[in-house]
Chain A
Amino acid sequence: MAYRVVIVGGGAAGMQTALELKSRGIEPIIVERDIELGGKARGWHKLFPSFTPAGDIMQPIAQRVKDEHIRCFYGQEVIGIASDGVTLRSEERIPADAVVVATGFTLFDAHRKQEYGYGLYDNVITSVDLERMMNGGRVTLTDGSEPKRIAILHCVGSRDEKVGQKHCSKVCCITGVKQAIELKQMFPTADVFNFYMDIRMFGPGYEELYREAQEKYNVHFVRGRISEAAETINKRIQIKAEDTLTGRPLRMTVDMLVLLVGMSANYDNPTLAASAGLPLAPNGYFKANDSFLGVVRSQQEGIFFAGTVTAPKSLADTLAEASLTASAVDQYLKNKYNAK
């Protein structure tokens, strides 16, 4: 009889882990809180740095999960985890030989940075809103007109002690570069400004894309954080910042302000962690067993991690880590049952 592994979360990490386990002859069961699989990547427009449509990556994975007849529970919230199974909100228990926590992250709520007026001013949007607009095929201001001047603000809800988010969300810098290029492709005559603290181009092809944004697309990069946004009488957005390279305060008016929202730890991480006696990192993410050889193992035998539940990661890193998780689970099950 195949070993059974419950995977909590049906996003990219959860689905890929399930497929890898299935290929190893292990029975995966996905428990997803939402009514469909896909997680945060669902509905994303294009992926950095290659501008690959997100659907080209995510839809085949979801289709394979279906084709492989992997059992999925939809609309089910897991409230307790243990090495021998999970407990649902309905109090139903799903027994297993091992558990993978792949519950991902929560998008930072831009309303919390009140000084930027998200939800209050019409043309202040988040990077997620912009992806959805691009997915819908049309990016406009709320009055239907085209933006002529756009500001993109990095690190909204990242590296910000004021809102308790000390960590770097890792993917926002390159997302800001990608979205700036996409906006310039849509509106070649528009001015696009990226306001940043540091530009962190850690991945393959990222630095090249950053250079291309400047040289080919004439995207402006301003080293300085926007301190506040306010709406003008004609519904434009006035922003204030300090250009820290020139050491001068800066005030300008734009048509659209895009807030690059970061990744936050899930609000229910403490509850889930407590149910299994697992520690959390200071930033609220699950704490991996160690930072080198145990990044997908928890501090409890039989409970594993995959994807952004332990830290912000790109989709590519998430998918790669899912394979590693499946390998670790496979090894654990072999050791456990062969030893008996």
Chain B
Amino acid sequence: MARRASWQEYQKEIAADKYYYARSCIRQNFFPGSEKAFLDILSNDLGVDIFDDPLHTSCTGIGYHSDVVPLETIMTVVARQFALMAEAGYENFISSCITSFGIYNEVLSTWEEFPETEERTRRYLKEATGRELVKPRSIAHTSDIMFYHREAIARKAKRRLVNVHTGEPLKVVEHIGCHYAKIFPKSGIGGSEFPYVLAGMIEAWGGDVVDYPERRHCCGFGFRNYLVQANRGSSIANSHKKLESMAPYKPDFIVANCPGCTMFLDKWQYAIAEMDGTTYGANGKGIPVLTYEEMAGLVLGYDPWELGMQFHQVDVEPLLDKLGVEYNPEAKYLGVGGKYIGKPADAAVNCAEQRRLYEIRR
């Protein structure tokens, strides 16, 4: 991967400071610790100005891609987000969600290509909310921001992405959400073929990036693949194809920058293990799947349970052991104030006994 220099041709302006933060609807449910970790890392560790605005809403992207939200509606919602940013005194808009990031780029591009749609949106926004549309000076995904600050994070690192038992760099599969750069290659670090946004973090923090044949392939989320129940076989087939392709490289973990990808690469491992008993990690276990905030948090010495890593389907403890992370196993299932939140049953993906396997033919 060291030969891969094409990412340098795909650069974009990333603001150094003063960010308006737009959260993701689904990440707050799937990986609630990650967005908090992002805010903590930027505010506390890096000391940059980031505004977490309670007034903003969903971008409605999933509804848009599912054909239940019209184009005019999503444009007006996006215009409102931008108006809120300007009212708060910011001009660098950053999005936690890859779907939203694609939406923001698509809407801005549509306004540029078809100015009449921008004028119409301005009118709708004014009529509906009384607000004025102010377009952002820069737009970035939050993984771009983490990429931008990767060297600063490396300087503050408590540990590197290295196996403390062998001294070898951890082998990391990076997975980029399709809507990060496949729609607008110029909007992503490294373009669409060899995105560098996560690879750059991995390399800066001491890990080795795994290049495997199905690296570019979609995780299988794909909105209609999953939202339409009859299509879920297609969703899991895509994840299965990727997992089969990466397994021979024996990756220590997967990191993704998209909410859907992170969840599906994690949870479909459970489903595959239940369906046919296949697991893809070492010792019959699954391959842990991290968000980039979790990866950064571990590098900076955050407690894995504070990062919310107990929400993962595939247990992360084998990875924590490789990294030399000290953690309290008992604290994994303790919530706020030390309250016990319950422990899920063992899952096949975490080495359950074969008799627990679901018999698909039954």
Contacts and interface: CB of A to CB of B under 8 A. Distances in A.
B6 A111 contact: yes
25 contacts: A111-B6, A114-B6, A114-B191, A114-B193, A114-B194, A115-B193, A115-B216, A119-B3, A120-B3, A120-B4, A120-B194, A228-B216, A230-B211, A230-B212, A230-B213, A230-B214, A230-B215, A230-B216, A231-B211, A231-B213, A232-B213, A233-B212, A233-B248, A233-B249, A238-B213
Contacts of A111: 6
A239 to B, nearest CB: 10
A120 B3 CA distance: 6
A119 B2 CA distance: 12
Interface residues of B, number: 14
Interface string A117-136: 00110000000000000000
Contacts of A231: 211, 213
Interface string B134-174: 00000000000000000000000000000000000000000
Contacts of B211: 230-231
Main SS of chain A's interface residues?
A: mixed
A119 B214 CA distance: 19
Contacts of B249: 233
Interface in B191-215: 191, 193-194, 211-215
Main SS of chain B's interface residues?
A: loop
Contacts of A119: 3
Interface in B101-123: none
A115 B212 CA distance: 14
Nearest to A116: B193
Contacts of A120: 3-4, 194
Interface of B: 3-4, 6, 191, 193-194, 211-216, 248-249
Contacts of B248: 233
Interface in A3-35: none
B309 to A, nearest CB: 29
A228 B218 CA distance: 14
Chain A contact-residue range equals: 10 to 19
A208 B239 CA distance: 46
A225 B324 CA distance: 47
Given A230-B214, A232-B213, 5 more contacts: A114-B6, A114-B191, A114-B193, A119-B3, A230-B212
A169 to B, nearest CB: 22
Contacts of B216: 115, 228, 230
B181 to A, nearest CB: 11
Q: Looking at A111, A114, A115, A228, which has the most chain B CB atoms within 10 Å of its CB?
A: A114
Give the 3 A-B CB pairs with smallest separation, nearest first: A114-B193, A230-B213, A238-B213
Q: Looking at A115, A232, A233, A238, which has the most chain B CB atoms within 10 Å of its CB?
A: A233
A134 B325 CA distance: 55
Nearest to A232: B213
Contacts of A232: 213
A188 to B, nearest CB: 29
Contacts of B3: 119-120
A233 B213 CA distance: 8
A317 B215 CA distance: 44
B168 to A, nearest CB: 17
Nearest to A234: B248
Interface in A205-250: 228, 230-233, 238
Contacts of B193: 114-115, 228
Contacts of B194: 114, 120
Nearest to A115: B193
A59 to B, nearest CB: 37
Contacts of B214: 230
A233 B248 CA distance: 7
Contacts of A238: 213
A111 B3 CA distance: 12
A31 to B, nearest CB: 33
Interface string A174-205: 00000000000000000000000000000000
Nearest to A237: B213
Interface in A39-70: none
A239 B114 CA distance: 38
A111 B212 CA distance: 19
A212 B150 CA distance: 57
A120 B209 CA distance: 14
A114 B5 CA distance: 11
A238 B3 CA distance: 19
Contacts of B191: 114
Contacts of B6: 111, 114
A233 B244 CA distance: 12
Nearest to B193: A114
A281 to B, nearest CB: 26
Contacts of B4: 120
A94 B98 CA distance: 59
A54 to B, nearest CB: 31
Nearest to A230: B213
Nearest to A111: B6
Contacts of B215: 230
Nearest to B214: A230
B86 to A, nearest CB: 35
B214 to A, nearest CB: 7
A108 B191 CA distance: 20
Contacts of A114: 6, 191, 193-194
Contacts of A230: 211-216
Nearest to A239: B213
A111 B193 CA distance: 12
Nearest to A114: B193
Nearest to B211: A231
A119 B194 CA distance: 13
Nearest to B247: A233
A262 B248 CA distance: 36
A230 B191 CA distance: 16
